[in-house]
C-alpha cells in the first residue's frame, strides 16, 4: 500500500511539473473569475486540504487532501467537455469509535460535463453529464467498496465581480461488495463568490449531501478567501477558509473545520 501511495503522489507532482511552463495570457482578475466557474475552459489542478473533527463518541478527526484536476476538451466549435476528478488522500483517527488510524486513498469521483462554449442569451453558463463513483479506497474505512453512477449538472451566471450558481449530482451504486451499504446519495452545492480587481475572491457555499439509505443530511457551510498570485509567471491561487457543520449524521463531523488549498492554473 505504501508503494501505491508513493506512486500516486509522485504522479500528481509530475502532472503539475510537466505543465509548469504555462504562461498566463489573461489578467489575474480574469483567471480568478474563471476559477469561480466549475466548468471554465481552463486547466487547473487544485490540492485542497480539509480538516474536520467531532466524529463518533471518541471525537475522531479526519484530514483530507483532495486532488481535483479540471481538464477541458474541445468537441467542436460549439461544445466543450470538461473532466472534473476528485481523488481524496485521507488520514483519519477514531473515525468510527476506537477504530485507530487509517491513511490512504478514498473513493474517486469522476464527472464529465458537456457544456456550450458560449453562455446563453441571458448569460447562463451550464453543463450536464454523467458522474461516476470509483472504489479506489485503500482501506475498508476509507471508502464504500461500491461502483456508482448517475447524472450531474451545473448552472451559473457571472455578472461583474459576482459569480453565483449551483452544482448537483446523484449517485446510485450498481456493483461492488454486496455486504456494504448501497450508495443512493444526492449532492448539492449552491455557491456565490465576489472577485476584486486585485484577484481576491471571497466565496460562500455549501457542499451538502443527502443519504437516502440512512435519511441523513451532511451540510457543511464553507467561507473561503483566495488570492491569485504568479510565481515565475506561473499563476497560482492560494485559498484559506473555515467551515461550520450545520447538520451531520449522529457519528459525523461536528462544529468547525478548516480548509487550505493551492491551485495551479494552466491557461490555454
CA distance 102 to 182: 22
Strands (DSSP E) contained in 56-145 are: 60-67, 70-74, 79-93, 101-105, 108-116, 124-134
CA distance 121 to 5: 47
Which of these ranges, 7-11, 26-30, 100-104, 128-132, has the smallest mean pLDDT? 7-11
Give the DSSP H or E segment for 12.
helix 2-18
**Mean pLDDT over the full length of the chain:** 90
Q: Are 46 and 85 in contact (CB under 8 A)?
A: no
Give the DSSP H or E segment for 28.
helix 28-35
- pLDDT of 11 > 70? The answer is no
CA distance 246 to 257: 11
**So where are the chain's domains?**
2-266
The CATH class given to the 2-266 domain equals mainly beta
**Prediction pTM value:** 0.87
The set of cell numbers assigned to 224 is: 473561503
What pLDDT score does 8 carry? 45
- pLDDT of 44 > 50? The answer is yes
Amino acid at each position: 500500500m505504501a508503494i501505491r501511495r508513493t506512486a500516486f503522489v509522485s504522479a500528481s507532482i509530475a502532472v503539475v511539473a510537466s505543465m509548469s511552463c504555462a504562461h498566463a495570457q489573461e489578467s489575474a482578475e480574469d483567471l480568478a473569475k474563471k476559477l469561480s466557474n466549475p466548468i471554465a475552459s481552463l486547466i487547473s489542478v487544485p490540492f485542497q486540504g480539509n480538516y474536520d473533527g467531532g466524529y463518533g463518541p471518541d471525537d475522531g478527526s479526519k484530514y483530507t487532501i483532495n486532488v481535483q484536476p479540471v481538464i477541458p476538451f474541445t468537441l467542436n466549435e460549439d461544445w466543450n467537455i470538461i473532466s472534473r476528478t476528485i481523488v481524496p488522500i485521507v488520514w483519519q483517527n477514531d473515525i468510527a469509535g476506537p477504530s485507530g488510524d487509517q491513511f490512504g486513498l478514498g473513493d474517486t469521483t469522476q464527472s464529465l460535463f458537456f457544456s456550450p462554449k458560449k453562455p446563453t442569451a441571458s448569460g447562463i453558463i451550464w453543463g450536464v453529464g454523467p458522474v461516476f463513483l470509483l472504489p479506489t479506497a485503500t482501506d475498508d474505512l476509507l471508502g464504500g467498496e461500491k461502483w456508482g453512477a448517475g447524472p450531474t449538472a451545473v448552472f451559473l451566471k457571472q455578472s461583474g465581480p459576482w459569480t453565483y450558481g449551483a452544482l448537483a449530482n446523484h449517485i446510485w451504486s450498481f456493483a461492488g461488495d454486496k455486504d456494504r451499504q448501497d450508495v443512493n446519495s444526492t449532492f448539492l452545492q449552491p455557491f456565490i463568490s465576489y472577485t476584486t480587481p486585485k484577484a481576491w475572491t471571497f466565496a460562500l457555499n455549501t457542499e451538502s449531501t443527502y443519504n437516502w439509505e440512512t435519511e441523513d443530511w451532511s451540510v457543511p457551510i464553507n467561507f473561503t478567501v483566495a488570492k491569485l498570485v504568479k510565481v515565475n509567471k506561473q499563476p497560482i491561487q492560494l485559498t484559506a477558509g473555515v467551515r461550520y457543520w450545520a447538520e451531520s449524521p449522529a457519528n459525523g463531523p461536528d462544529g468547525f473545520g478548516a480548509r487550505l488549498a493551492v491551485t495551479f492554473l494552466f491557461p490555454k
